[in-house]
Amino acid sequence: MRRILTIALALSVAAVAAPAVQAYSRIKDIADVEGVRDNMLVGYGLVVGLNGTGDGLRNAPGTQQSLQAMLERLGVNTRGANISSGSVAAVIVTANLPPFATQGSRIDITVSALGDAKNLQGGTLLVTPLLAADGNIYAVAQGQIAISGFSAQGAASSVTRGVPTSGRISAGAIVEREIKFDLASLGNLRLALRNPDLTTARRVSDAINTFVGSKVANFTDPGTIRVGLPQNYQGNMVGLLTDIEQLRVEPDQPAKVVIDEASGIIVMGADVRVSSVAIAQGSLTIRISEFPQVSQPEPFSDGQTTVVPRTEIEVQDSGDKKLGVLRSGVSLQQLVNGLNALGIGPRDMIAILQAIKASGALQAEIEVM
């Protein structure tokens, strides 16, 4: 009975200590402008200058062929020669081309080993063209690689920290081709919500219409708001975006509980509610302990020393735990606070939440990762 009173007290304290807080966000933080996005680039290149930690050319024919092709472009003929060097590694170079990146600007790149190279520390990436999905070259990369990990090896042991086969080159690529997108000349545009929701879409469109003073925004689905160009912003779409992206709205969210059973993490929404339900949490524990004893024969007898098993079995059945009743309308936050106050661990808490959902008393969606 004392346990039930403790649950009720913990839940009532949580209800008083959890005031409703309205979280307003800027439109620029919850929505993206259609057409304003990054573009992924990828390229294949060679890293040279490695201290014997590169690809084994006998096991990586692609690296050897690439090295020979590069040397031929530089006027060095190595066809038929037996090249054996651990200072070269084949790599994949990736980058994101940001929107409105102009020709001649620089972007960061990531370099990752493709073959059996052990470490890219101290390596230099040779000129590598970076292509987009359309097959065109949009940037060219080259530079000294900086890695966050390291590897050291001796005769009997080795130490590796981080990932020494992957690194970055800050501002390592130069943009050679621009992606044309004339934002200023648009007559209308679409905003895409990062978390689609009908209520949020309506609030965003209402906030834009109130600011402009006319009905220029309307939502066509839970994730899209179409915005037209008002009279006082004719030919100035950039100016309109600059103004409306600072407007603040309160995003709505569905009642959802996200559970990661592997790590015991529970993330809940603020609008999750629990209907009237009775909860009992207990467990059966069986502890078996072995205390072997040595039995020795009498002095001057023909007996033998033997080990006699001794087993102690203890059964703990949590029969003193009673049912606890939660009244309708209790939030999940109050329930979890009450369970935390009783010292219930994440594993038992996950099982309780899933049992409440199975009974139909949890008014939320449970997503198990």
Mean pLDDT of 96-106: 93
Structural domains in the chain? 2-20+256-368 (no CATH), 25-35+182-249 (3.90.1150), 39-175 (no CATH)
Residue 41 to residue 363: CA distance in whole angstroms = 44
- N-term to C-term CA, the chain: 36
CA dihedral 33, 35, 36, 39 (to 10 degrees): 140
SS3 354: helix
pLDDT in tens, 207-218: 999 999 999 999
pTM comes to: 0.67
Report the percent of the chain where pLDDT is more than 70. Answer: 73
Name the token pair of 287.
């502890």
Backbone angles phi, psi at 144, to 5 degrees: -85, 135
Predicted confidence at residue 27, as pLDDT, reads 93
Mean pLDDT of 38-49: 93
Mean pLDDT of the chain: 79
pLDDT in tens, 233-276: 888 888 899 999 999 999 988 888 888 877 777 787 777 777 77
pLDDT in tens, 111-121: 999 888 888 98
**To which H or E segment does residue 204 belong?**
helix 198-212
Q: Does residue 156 have a pLDDT over 60?
A: no
Predicted confidence at residue 198, as pLDDT, reads 92
Predicted confidence at residue 12, as pLDDT, reads 44
